A and B are shown apart, each in its own frame.
Chain A
Amino acid sequence: MLLQRIFASVLLLACLGLALMAWPYQAAFSYEPVGPRAFPLLMLGLMGSALLYMVFRPAPIKHSEDEPPLDRETLTKIGICVALLLVFAGTFEPLGFIVASILIGVPMARLYGGRWVPSIVIISLMAVGLYLLFDKLMDVPLPLGVLDVLEN
């Protein structure tokens, strides 16, 4: 309940901020009665009123039975996972697809309960395999990064 109230309030503030941001949107020359501002403001307004209702009357959350409550351990895990994904995004171009995938894939496999050796073997094979599959076979260009020297 409290979480929902907080979430709704934060989103409500975001709505207000975005509405302020949208206020000056006006076309310099316009031949139509509705400018670029109306629709976003309408949506933000509707969303704001719905959120306001939610702040005061949050709906109870139904948990499915196999869903454990969030504890500190899971939260740290989620934090680590997000960090790994961010590292993946950050190193994707400079280090290249294969290195970046192995770099984040192995810790991620560990996070989900894999052991070191099988994780390293499988993720490395997958990274190389996926690179060959997408880059060579399916023409989806992927950066090679530091492995660029191998290309020629």
Chain B
Amino acid sequence: MDTLGYLGQGFGVALSPYNLVTALCGTLIGTVVGLLPGLGPINGVALLIPIAFALGLPPESALILLAAVYLGCEYGGRISSILLNIPGEASTVMTTLDGYPMARKGLAGVALSLSAWSSFIGAFIATCGMVLFAPLLAKWAIAFGPAEYFVLMVFAIVCLGGMAGDRPLKTFIAALIGLFLSTVGIDANSGVYRFTGDNIHLTDGIQFVVLVLGLFSISEILLLLEKTHHGQEAVKATGRMMFNFKEAASVFVVNLRCGVLGFIMGVLPGAGATLASAVAYMTEKRMAGAKGTFGQGDMRGLAAPETAIGGAACGALVPMLTLGVPGSGTTAVMIGALSLYNITPGPLLFQQQPDIVWGLIASLFIANVMLVILNIPMIRIFTRILAVPNWALVPVIAIITGIGVYAVHATTFDLFLMIGIGIFGYILRKLDFPLSPVLLGFILGGLMEQNLRRALSISNGALEILWSSPITFGCWVLTAIMLLMPLIRIWRKRSAAQRAIADV
């Protein structure tokens, strides 16, 4: 019953007035950022890192702020997908399928509050799962040595490719770009300058915030230039705002199922919210069968992906907190934030700084409640924000991005570097490369190299250490399965195509 005691302690931290205000500000900022086109949770969290640092927030408050922004962004993305039929990011594509038809039917308010409720249940289930499993995983993770960590990270990277589906090769290349970028700068072990080109600003390596904002904000600004059509008219949210008991009851089973599914998918590295929402929607659609009106405004079709996203967003924090291995782009950004505070997430965090871990978990509960409460009175204001035209928005995004980058080191070199990275990111995007693997690779790169070198120092250069223990061996087996998955999928598709030809 230690866990409950710690959880109580966590609520003590999270419920202090200071942290409550922080969480409230975070959810508000997050919702607005998530609403705006082109800004998602990754940008939102990354922009706030230097600001949280400059404000001198204590680490637990900073983490609470970032977690609240994260959840708020997920929530804001939902508003634009339901009212505008424009998904703010990949994970909310499934929400538009039934959310927008619902809004067209005059149920916009109901759709919004129901999605908030679904996401709350998903997050609630996942947070409960986290309370149950995270300490166990953390205890088990203490048995991990450098070799085990290295193999685990290889697994995480390969997972990304295996789960990404249609473009494993590009995902793999993107991750490798990130891994390589992490080696720029002075080598901590030997003091050798690597890939700096004698540039003094690069000795410290590429700053994390610079990479994130370049890749995501700048490339998005350039992408927005192509979109000539000026904003779709938002569906007016009028009439009933709150769902009624009958509606909530009709999707409750869906909520439970998809919440558990979302949590499991969130914990797996590389899967994340996008895949969770897609799988949840497809499963529910199949289960409803011909009776469902999926695609025409079925409430279950709205509840399923939203619950899964809520579950996955919280589930993704489990590997980050217990193992220090991020499972998604956003958690990778949060690790970057933690390292600014000199906190290394991992199994020891649970013992050394329980305040931070349990304060964060408790504040997730609180931020979720806040989002549900905020939803109802604020929705009219939020729909106003959607009407802001691009010409006013984009320059402001560009300027704020500039401030975020300048705030880290106060050099204009970082600004130039950010623009360069942004152009590179734009090209990658145009060629259909996914960007979050770059980020994940960048975060994991340093850890991977350190653990590999440490492991080989222990074994005095013998490579057997990388597969001799049962944990490492198990990880390699899983890695092999993950590597085979895309191949199997291609093979299946091919044989299905052949069968189709044979049938004709």
Q: Which residues of A contact B (CB under 8 A)?
A: 3-4, 7, 18, 21-22, 25-28, 30-36, 39-40, 43-44, 46-47, 50-51, 53-54, 59, 61-62, 66-68, 70, 74, 77-78, 81-82, 85-86, 88-90, 92-93, 97, 101, 104-106, 108-114, 118-119, 122-123, 126-127, 130, 134, 138-142
Contact = CB atoms under 8 A, between A and B. Distances in A.
B172 interface: yes
Nearest to B177: A47
Given A46-B176, A109-B394, 19 more contacts: A27-B191, A32-B457, A33-B456, A39-B448, A40-B180, A43-B176, A54-B173, A62-B166, A62-B432, A85-B419, A86-B416, A104-B398, A108-B398, A112-B394, A119-B391, A134-B51, A138-B55, A139-B56, A140-B51
A3 B431 contact: yes
Contacts of A35: 190
B244 interface: no
B169 A82 contact: no
Contact of B391 (A22, A36, A113): A113
Contacts of B229: 66
Q: How large is the interface on B (under 10, 10 to 19, 20 to 34, 35 or more residues)?
A: 35 or more
Contacts of B415: 88-89, 92
Contacts of B54: 138-140
Contact of A82 (B410, B419, B460): B419
Given A51-B173, A59-B167, A89-B415, A109 B391 contact: yes
A105 B399 CA distance: 8
Nearest to A44: B180
Given A40-B195, A82-B419, A138-B55, A50 B169 contact: yes
Contacts of B50: 140
A126 B248 CA distance: 43
21 contacts: A32-B189, A34-B453, A40-B195, A50-B169, A59-B432, A74-B225, A81-B225, A82-B419, A89-B402, A89-B412, A89-B416, A89-B418, A97-B403, A108-B395, A109-B395, A112-B225, A113-B389, A126-B399, A130-B399, A134-B51, A138-B51
B195 A92 contact: no
Contacts of A25: 187, 192, 194
A80 to B, nearest CB: 9
Interface stretch (B60-68, B216-224, B264-272, B347-355): B216-224
B195 A134 contact: no
B398 A68 contact: no
B71 interface: no
B461 interface: yes
Contacts of B51: 134, 138, 140
Query: A7, A33, A93 — which one has the most chain B CB atoms within 10 A of its CB?
Result: A33
A22 B194 contact: yes
B396 interface: yes
Contacts of A114: 389, 391-392
Contact of B395 (A47, A54, A59, A123): A123
A33 B422 CA distance: 37
Nearest to B426: A78
A102 to B, nearest CB: 10
A30, A34, A46 interface centre (most CB from chain B within 10 Å): A34
B406 interface: yes
A27 B412 CA distance: 32
B230 interface: yes
A122 B392 contact: yes
Given A39-B183, A54-B173, A109 B392 contact: yes
